[in-house]
């Protein structure tokens, strides 16, 4: 039970940190408009990575 709570806490902290960095990155990229065409691909990659981490945690 304790290990499950540890996984949940680490996952939650990691997601908060990742989404914070991701939002800063997106704000900087949209200001320059150089990479605005790649933002959809970046969002899809982030969603896939999040799902992969979630399935990995559920499977263990």
What is the domain partition of the chain in residue ranges? 2-59
**pLDDT confidence of residue 37:** 66
CA 41 to chain centre: 13
User: What is the C-alpha to C-alpha distance for residues 60 and 55, in angstroms, rounded to an integer?
Assistant: 9
Mind listing the pLDDT tens digit of every residue in the chain (60 residues)? 667 777 878 888 888 888 888 878 777 766 666 666 677 777 778 888 888 887 887 776
pLDDT at 34: 64
How far is C-alpha 24 from the geometric centre of its chain's CA atoms?
13
């Amino acid at each position: 039970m304790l290990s499950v709570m540890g996984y949940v806490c680490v996952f939650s902290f990691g997601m908060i940190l990742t989404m914070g960095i991701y939002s800063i990155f997106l704000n900087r990229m949209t200001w320059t408009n150089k990479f605005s065409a790649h933002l959809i691909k970046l969002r899809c990659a982030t969603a896939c990575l999040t799902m992969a981490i979630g399935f990995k945690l559920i499977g263990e």
